Chains A and B, each alone.
Chain A
Amino acid sequence: ETGVTQTPRHLVMGMTNKKSLKCEQHLGHNAMYWYKQSAKKPLELMFVYNFKEQTENNSVPSRFSPECPNSSHLFLHLHTLQPEDSALYLCASSRELAGGNEQFFGPGTRLTVL
């Protein structure tokens, strides 16, 4: 499809659980992103990685912990989440951060926190 895959596609977790979301891009890109998409709200950029280095953390609560072991893989580790964290979590990649490069998105993980 778009060259960006995300697993799992759906996740239901309790507030005391620990889980991880995985993203993999097959496009040879250098920048990767995590977004949160909630109903009736604009996409919220959470984290940005460029060449495996984190360059943005948009005031995201510490219960969300990103990890980027290499330019092709991105994880989002979740622990002690709140019901308001229920949303669609989208991963994206782009060739580089600067310039007019478009981002390519994965299909997302639909997260429900009980």
Chain B
Amino acid sequence: EVQLVESGGGLVQPGGSLRLSCAASGFTFSSYWMHWVRQAPGKGLVWVSRINSDGSSTSYADSVKGRFTISRDNAKNTLYLQMNSLRAEDTAVYYCARSPDYGDYAFVNWFDPWGQGTLVTVSS
């Protein structure tokens, strides 16, 4: 069974740091791009970041650029999101999701599957 399981969420003070993990199983992790998507309470989905299959290329939403770092360990089948300088507006459920390795210019792409999400709360 293809599965993604996030962990690492919790309560953190503004300005603090947190590292999220996403453990993958049931597929060849190193053959897929991976993404983080977040959802603030009662709000819509927001794409956060992506990493290519070998970890050599990353991209970020403007709202997190310079504060968040996406990485992966293909030997451990695990995706990470290092979040620094956290703000109240980063409070959200963070999902990891898989996409096919079609490169940056593919005209078709999709996210499937998604993990169950991990809640990050930034508050004093």
Please indicate whether A and B come from the same complex rather than being unrelated chains: no
